[in-house]
Structure 1
């Protein structure tokens, strides 16, 4: 485990006071790294030094419901829907005055990055997204997948029940442990790494946001009226026009690696797809050099034409 410890700052942004890491030259080209569930900012413990050494300013926020990020209004809805994650990210860019950063992420964080890149492309210099186009097609949520893929999403169905809510309340770390092992079967993480991330799950809003996220994406819970217009725009599956590199880990336990062609029509600018050997779903932690390399490459994409999916 990288012993390097993140020091967080905080800023008011939209609905939240966001806790975030800010490393590197404050005047350098910015990169925003976004973590997934059930993980935290330490997903990027080995990526941040690589990017700082390459001359970037690197910002890593704790998503809503994680770490020291808190709602400004105690009465606000604890929504975990994709529009909320995207709106949070846009508000953070505004609050920090970040001018066209590169956005990079996986899982929930990759989804937030895809939302902002699709709806506000003028705010984004480039995108790195694990598992491709991550904007949810909620209208198609009732369409079944292959049984082996459905089995990997056991926690989706668990969280759809009150038993699952209670289970998450009682053992956030234990559920994360199971998900980590299934998501990344070749990754040999330590107890200390899991404990370090699990500290972020002690956030008082964690359970409500996680439960709403999974129920909303399955069409089982309504979204917040605050984000209704954004969700309508996302329902159209808007194309991403900013320069993009998508990544698949060949050892991802939930999302088998592809050639990227299934999402090709949704990237209408430069796009390149890469497979990362032996990496699982937690790709930035498992293959930090490959993840950082994608960011370095997207900072200078080769030309303006469409890439090879």
Structure 2
């Protein structure tokens, strides 16, 4: 394993994970049962709003109301349209599929204009718990990537009773500002250029002025072999016009580097996450063979999954936005983890 990957792994995992052998940890192959059609079309279903203590959360819903709930979580700079081909496949298999906009995206809004636009990891995770409470969902299968995968991992680790199963792209993404303090070799630091750009006022102003062009660049570098068209990008880019989007993105990356504070009410949960808690619920982790975003090798996080667990690496030029680039395989992983 080269030094760049080794250092990125340490950066992502806060320096607490040990490398483990694949064969001893229940890793599976990338083969899939032939239980899904090649495609079920493209739809995110009905757009709805639900109020929690802090937010009015916008979400899309597709599938029978009586089906096993599946909550699909997007990351940055993406939105719920990342699941526009996944959702019909899961709905067709009988699942109730919900796709919320994270805080700072789409139609999700803070109830108070004075609320701190906090994007630390526990705040985002508790938004999803609050969504579930508001919709009377006791437990759901969580499928996610990027920020969404971090959020799903936190829920699975801290609130396993709320998570029936987990599908996480790029594995175990829980980290801490303390774990991110040690500098990396130059090439690894280069891969995180946008995080450092966001720490500056110039970066904040630049992102606010150029967010659509900026995020299109991230899409291209994170998924270098994905030939998405402008219409596909535009469907997601509309969600970046949220009035809190820039504040949320900037705070998230500054908080990760220990350059912005969070809120004291989350300290106890953050302390638990600093111990890298194991995920005990049935889990499948996915990775694309052409993921251009910094990510850890599967062996780095395998021991964090102590329940039924399989890892699958998808080949054929699949990048960071795995649900949109390989929707059938992502949907199949949801069905498979539900059957564990």
TM-score between the two structures when normalised by the length of structure 2: 0.85
2:104 is the counterpart of 1:61: no
Q: 1:52 offset after TM fit, Å?
A: 0.6
Report how far residue 257 of structure 1 moved.
7.1
Give the secondary structure class of the aligned counterpart of 1:171: helix
Instruction: Select which of 243, 253, 259 maps to 1:204.
Output: 243
Q: 2:128 aligns with which of 64, 80, 89?
A: 89
Q: Which residue of 1 aligns with 2:303?
A: 265
Alignment partner of 1:169 out of 208, 211, 227: 208
Cα offset, 1:256, TM superposition: 5.4
| Counterpart among 145, 157, 171 of residue 132 in structure 1 | 171
> Distance in 2 between the 1:164 and 1:136 partners?
23
2:78 counterpart of 1:33: no
2:230 to 191, 210, 226: 191
**Count of residues in correspondence between the two structures:** 299
Q: Could you say what secondary structure the match of 2:333 adopts?
A: helix
Q: Give yes or no for the alignment of 1:275 onto 2:313.
A: yes
Partner SS for 2:48? strand
Q: Deviations along 1:167-189, whole A, 9 cap, x unmatched?
A: 11101101101100110000011
The root-mean-square deviation of aligned C-alpha atoms, in Å, is 1.4
Distance between the aligned counterparts of 1:65 and 1:205, measured in 2? Answer: 5
Closer/same/farther in 2, CA of residues 268 and 5 from structure 1, 3 Å limit: closer
1:132-151 → structure 2 map (5 Å cutoff): 132-151=171-190
Q: Is the 8 A contact 2:144 2:168 kept in 1?
A: yes
- How big is the shift at 1:143? 2.4
Q: 1:5 to 1:50 in 2, by over 3 A?
A: closer
1:202 deviates by 0.6
- What displacement does 1:231 show? 1.4
Q: Which residue of 1 aligns with 2:46?
A: 7
How far, CA to CA, are the matches of 2:296 and 2:258 in structure 1?
A: 26
1:239 to 1:76, Cα distance in 2 relative to 1, 3 A: same
Instruction: Give the unaligned 5+ runs of structure 2.
Output: 1-40
- TM-score norm. by structure 1 comes to 0.93
CA contact (8 A) 2:44 2:61 kept: no
1:234-262 CA distance string (max 9 Å, x none): 1121111100000111000023573x211
Residue ranges of structure 1 left out of the alignment (5+ in a row): 302-309
Shift of 1:227: 1.9
Q: Distance in 2 between matches of 1:228 and 1:248?
A: 31
**Are the equivalent residues in 2 in contact too, given 1:248–1:274 (CA < 8 A)?**
yes
